[in-house]
Structure 1
């Protein structure tokens, strides 16, 4: 390694140590500094769990030091991923700590910056041709308009691009291994069961499929991310604190593994967001959900959980926007659950006609429906002074799900009971018994 490269790496290290991701953690700062310096000194044999624990943390080999190092390595990988996804996105040097070890890997993303500078003389030569092309394009546009030719893009072009990206991703998975492709297929099937969100049996079935995907390919991150989503939902629905804590712990392990395996995949970050929500950390949940969206803005699963977190924490306008029916999205494995989310967000915004229309579209398109679909649609009707329609739906709710308790179900998910009351007021106005 050249002295210039070593200098660049140390500058990169300094920037990371001073970043918000690491500035508040002396342990992670020490960990990263140690492994980078040992690597630069040419001592990769020193970069193993027991030695790191001794040299960085002052731990002895017999006191569980390897576990501590593994946990901090996972935290460090997440911090590095976060840093390079935000303020470090333009850094020349990227420091990686790959899963399965602690020896750093250095990626130089740019060469000599002088070679990137534009050639002014070449630009001067291009000025006249560019001007000529611009005049020709303007003349062509006038000619086309005069003959009624429409140059606007096809309304289906965005959908075609989305589908094309999905095909490319499947080809890439197949090239990696058929086991990975099959694990991806299994994950997609399981993802279809993540909604309706309050169905315990469905979430349990989804979890089993995600676990099967993990068995088929233990290196595929999607199975772990999906399992973390199901486990977090089951934690929210758990009947007692002990089960809730067990589910959250299991979800944390699954989510951590997903991010370790594929730190820049939005579905894995989404599992962290939903875990944070299930744990009551609503602010962090929103931050992580937004990060997942920035990484995978067309993944229907990511969009659904982002919109859901926004909805349940009271950001109704943002939830309505993210779940909009006409927003570009790749909905493999989600069956347009966004339509129900869009309906609920519209209800809370007082746009009752749009809410009913969204629920009708969800039903017509085969999107997942449940007790809550009837609850929100009835509440929307009642709020729009259509009491007869609301009462018909509540009668159907009573016949189909006679033991369903709306307040108990809604209270498990909303961050504020105020929003639960908004729904219950309309149900009671339509004649729904107060004790249900």
Structure 2
């Protein structure tokens, strides 16, 4: 079903330095919980001017590269006919971790190639809007972020023109609003998308991230509750962060370990929360060992910046508690 719901003109609200908008430098750090990244500081150096041509694709484990910048599953060949929905789903499944800038650029290029083939299909516009908003969220330069958000907004409008009732389009609308600092609007639209999505994992992740960043930890637990023998159920990585913030340390470390067992790539932020969880439940030796691994693998990691930046509207007590446990496990910021 197509729809013509039109976005209200909120270009003035794209200025994310306005009151209430999240600080964007490392503002999304904990989101690496989805599928992981290396040092969460490194992305700021990796971000280049988005208006420049996207770089050549890099091979990734889940895809091969087609000449027309369409990502294809390894099992596919260039001769296979794929529907726009199938092509778009390849892009959606490639976009996590959302903090991986190169990955987002690949998804955007892929989406534009799908759009060139199937200009009436809404999903690819919405996918591009998600990835553009993700890049903007991670930018420390508010001016550059505003430019990227405008492009995300343009893609979103095209998606809405084609199918305003698609939950994926609504998810893109929520994520774009969130990147622009319209937090309550983002939460409400995201809830609508999640409620209509019938278990869509990509929509679940974006909804859970919005709730997590807003400090709605109990709601995050409800959305991401994992079932150990049902891999497609919930999201244990995000669940672990919410459980930790609520002081449920055993539940947090169980969730983080489940995520690793499911093949979710480890990263500095989640590893640090896992170490803090080990320390909180008295498993000091494991906590200390993990701290040593973090120092070796992510030498630029700065845990003191996590809560101070991405949860600016939430009590600083959360960050102090995390740092106290992480330091008790052996972390020293001057090392």
Aligned to 1:361: 258
Change (3 A) 1:316 1:434: same
- Matched-pair contact (CA < 8 Å) for 2:178–2:210: yes
Of the candidates 287, 299, 303, which is equivalent to residue 200 of structure 2? 299
CA distance in structure 2 between the partners assigned to 1:226 and 1:312 by the alignment: 21
Aligned to 1:426: 325
Q: When the two structures are aligned, how many residues end up with a matched partner? A: 259
Unaligned regions of 5+ residues in structure 2, if any?
A: 9-79
Compute the displacement of 1:382 (Å).
2.1
Compute the displacement of 1:344 (Å).
0.9
- Matched-pair contact (CA < 8 Å) for 2:225–2:234: no
Compute the displacement of 1:234 (Å).
0.8
Change (3 A) 1:254 1:325: same
Of the candidates 317, 326, 337, which is equivalent to residue 218 of structure 2? 317
- Matched-pair contact (CA < 8 Å) for 2:231–2:262: no
Where do 4+ consecutive residues of structure 1 move more than 6 Å?
none
Compute the displacement of 1:330 (Å).
10
Of the candidates 115, 120, 124, which is equivalent to residue 214 of structure 1? 115
Higher Rg of the two aligned structures: 1
Q: Does 1:387 align with 2:284?
A: yes
Change (3 A) 1:435 1:320: farther
Q: Does 1:74 align with 2:10?
A: no
Change (3 A) 1:352 1:183: same
Within 5 Å, give how 1:40-51 maps onto structure 2: none
- Matched-pair contact (CA < 8 Å) for 1:190–1:206: yes
- Matched-pair contact (CA < 8 Å) for 2:227–2:234: no
TM-score, length basis structure 2:
0.69
TM-score, length basis structure 1:
0.54
CA distance in structure 1 between the partners assigned to 2:231 and 2:197 by the alignment: 10
Higher relative contact order by CA 8 Å / sep ≥ 6: 1 or 2? 2
Q: Does 1:406 align with 2:315?
A: no
Compute the displacement of 1:193 (Å).
3.2
Larger helix fraction of residues = 1
Aligned to 2:132: 231
- Matched-pair contact (CA < 8 Å) for 2:226–2:234: no
Aligned to 1:246: 147
